[in-house]
Structure 1
């Protein structure tokens, strides 16, 4: 049993001051510091003093690409004029040559970067053309077994790869399901999935929800309409691929009718605002999604590891998109953050995202000295404008285990960055 003392806690719902938290894998007890002296200290393995800091739930990255950690600084001819050309000139070259060892190295590096940003759960959309079979297990090894994080993984089925192997990898990995690791059925995007492939997926995936890039760019929608005479959402519905808890990334260019179909099938949408702006594909119509009651979560599409940047950019970009400073307010952002905890709770079979007894001990301790008073009424304004603006967690705990203490990961991977540099050199030389 461990204890956090002298804590101010905020879990995107409730704010408390001067409390202690007793925990192992689950939060066992929360009480006022005035009662802490009654605790039998010899029963505690560790006491963490959270004075001058906020204790919050570990954060969730709702859509990412772990292998992107091997792309940083990659110097290839790059002069895209469209989203498809971005894929062709960069991402499809990189993911096309990755092998199992690359996947594991990228998992450790990206996981460490995520831990430093207070992220304890990753929902990943993986691709590796050099090796397909067995690669999701490499991600699980790195993220869940060796780093102690939680992960939900899938392989990006695409006609660019051996489709049968993509199907096998998703189905085989779906047999692994526990409180730390689970799976979705991965699909790249409509524009790289033929009707034949959609039919195969529909016949084999069973009840496994899908994870797909959907209408990220207008090119994806135009491709579907030109080739199949229907929108992307209509294509997926035709093959009965839209099932409860499916995760659709982006949805930037869906229309009103598509939104109604998504609502009818109880799916989630993962918004990735910074990536959308970086790729110049537009921004999601959050008002459309909200009007139709489609639950959204927030990801970063593999662009760095700092998910709080997405919280900020989504808020600012929506206000700008609608030319309305009152649009997308704190209640909207809080709903999306809490949706991510709901999604992971349902998928992993745990209670996550609140600092309450019985919830998993996925916690972060973030230093924060406030220049003004804090209360129940204004706590999220402090989080948004103060904590998120310079987000530097001091301690990170997942499943009751300390992953980072006093700003230093306490995991034995001192040489992983050297290995990552060597792996990137090997990959880049192949691509020259």
Structure 2
């Protein structure tokens, strides 16, 4: 059993001061420090002093691409005139050559970056043309087994790859379900998936929720209308792929009719504002999604590992989009953050995202010495303006294990980074 003492607690709902927490894999007890003196200390193996810190639940990245690790510093001819050009000139070149060992290395490096940014669970959308079969288990080994985090993984089925292997990989990995990991059914995007592939996916996948990019760019919608005479969402509906708990990433260019369809099908939309701005594809219409009661979660589309940047950029970009400082408020952001915890809770069958007894002990301790008064009424303002902008947790705990101890990652990493640099050299040579 472990304890964190002398800390402020905040879990995106409740705030406590001068408190302690006892935990192993789950939270066992929470109380005020006045009560801690009566606790029998002989059963506590580790006590962490949380003075001048705020204890929070570990964060969740609701849509990412681990394989993007190997794009860092990559130099390829790049002169895109459309989003499709970005895929052709960059991402489809990179993911087309990755093999199974590249997948493991990218996951270890990305997972370490997640830990440093307080992310203890990630929902990944994977692609690797060099190897398909077995790659999701490699991601699980790196993220869940070696680093001790939680992950939901899938392989993005696309006509660019061997379709049968894509389907087999998704179905095979979906059988690996526990409190640490689970498999969704990955699909890339409408514009890289034919009708015959969609039909095959529906016939074989069973009730596994899909995870797919939807209308990230206008290219995706135009492609669907030109080839099939219908929008992206209509295609997915007509192929009966909009199952409960499916994740549709982006949805930047859906229309009112498509939003109504999504609102009637119990799906989640993963917003990725920083990536949308970086790719210049536009921004999601959050008000449209909100009007149709479509639950949103938040990811970063593989653009780094700092999910708190997404919280900030989503807020600022929505205010800018709607030209009003009142257009998107703290209540909107808190709803999206809590939706992300709810989604993972449902998929992994755990209680996550609260500092309360019986919830999993996925915790982050963030140093913060407030310059002004702090209270239950203004705590999220302190979190948003004082912590998210300079996010640097000192302790990260997942499944009750300390994975970062006073800024030190527990897993030895020196050889991993050397191996990753050597792998990147080989990958880039293939591309050039």
**TM-score in same-fold range (> 0.5):** yes
For residue 311 of structure 1, what is the aligned residue in structure 2?
A: 311
For residue 118 of structure 1, what is the aligned residue in structure 2?
A: 118
- Aligned partners of 2:420, 2:184: CA distance in 1, in Å? 27
For residue 376 of structure 1, what is the aligned residue in structure 2?
A: 376
- Aligned partners of 1:238, 1:205: CA distance in 2, in Å? 16
Q: Secondary structure at the match of 1:359?
A: coil
Q: Deviations over 1:35-66 (max 9, x none)?
A: 11111111011000000100000000000000
Moved more, 401-410 or 116-125: 401-410
For residue 246 of structure 1, what is the aligned residue in structure 2?
A: 246
What pairs with 1:246-395 in structure 2 (closer than 5 Å)? 246-395=246-395
- 1:414 positional shift: 2.4
For residue 142 of structure 2, what is the aligned residue in structure 1?
A: 142
- Aligned partners of 1:411, 1:426: CA distance in 2, in Å? 25
Q: Deviations over 1:117-150 (max 9, x none)?
A: 0000010000000000000000000000000000
- Aligned partners of 1:307, 1:134: CA distance in 2, in Å? 28
The runs of 5 or more residues in structure 1 that have no matched partner are none
Instruction: Say whether residues 1:426 and 2:426 are aligned partners.
Output: yes
- Aligned partners of 1:407, 1:327: CA distance in 2, in Å? 37
TM-score (norm 2): 1.00
TM-score (norm 1): 1.00
Q: Secondary structure at the match of 1:96?
A: helix
- Aligned partners of 2:105, 2:402: CA distance in 1, in Å? 21
Could you list the structure 1 runs, at least 4 aligned residues long, displaced by more than 4 angstroms after superposition: none
For residue 190 of structure 1, what is the aligned residue in structure 2?
A: 190
- Aligned partners of 2:45, 2:69: CA distance in 1, in Å? 35
- 1:412 positional shift: 2.0
Q: Deviations over 1:329-383 (max 9, x none)?
A: 0000000000000000000000000000000000000000111000111000000
- Aligned partners of 1:206, 1:374: CA distance in 2, in Å? 50
- 1:156 positional shift: 0.3
- Aligned partners of 2:416, 2:284: CA distance in 1, in Å? 36
- Aligned partners of 1:42, 1:413: CA distance in 2, in Å? 33
- Aligned partners of 1:21, 1:15: CA distance in 2, in Å? 13
For residue 51 of structure 2, what is the aligned residue in structure 1?
A: 51
For residue 17 of structure 2, what is the aligned residue in structure 1?
A: 17
RMSD between aligned alpha carbons?
0.5
The runs of 5 or more residues in structure 2 that have no matched partner are none
Q: Deviations over 1:291-349 (max 9, x none)?
A: 10000010000000000000000000000000010011000000000000000000000
- 1:413 positional shift: 2.1
- Aligned partners of 1:144, 1:414: CA distance in 2, in Å? 20
Q: Deviations over 1:215-270 (max 9, x none)?
A: 00000000000000000111001110001100000000000000010011100000
- Aligned partners of 1:355, 1:124: CA distance in 2, in Å? 25
- 1:424 positional shift: 0.5
Instruction: Say whether residues 1:207 and 2:226 are aligned partners.
Output: no
- Aligned partners of 1:112, 1:191: CA distance in 2, in Å? 33
- Aligned partners of 2:397, 2:127: CA distance in 1, in Å? 29
Q: Secondary structure at the match of 1:302?
A: coil
Q: Secondary structure at the match of 2:111?
A: helix
For residue 168 of structure 2, what is the aligned residue in structure 1?
A: 168
- 1:415 positional shift: 1.8
- Aligned partners of 2:348, 2:414: CA distance in 1, in Å? 30
- 1:178 positional shift: 0.2
Q: Secondary structure at the match of 1:374?
A: coil
- 1:76 positional shift: 0.7
- 1:416 positional shift: 1.2
- Aligned partners of 2:387, 2:21: CA distance in 1, in Å? 21
- Aligned partners of 1:431, 1:273: CA distance in 2, in Å? 29
- Aligned partners of 2:414, 2:61: CA distance in 1, in Å? 24
- 1:86 positional shift: 0.4
- Aligned partners of 2:415, 2:361: CA distance in 1, in Å? 29
Q: Secondary structure at the match of 1:297?
A: strand
- Aligned partners of 2:8, 2:415: CA distance in 1, in Å? 36
For residue 35 of structure 1, what is the aligned residue in structure 2?
A: 35
- 1:182 positional shift: 0.2
- Aligned partners of 1:341, 1:333: CA distance in 2, in Å? 13
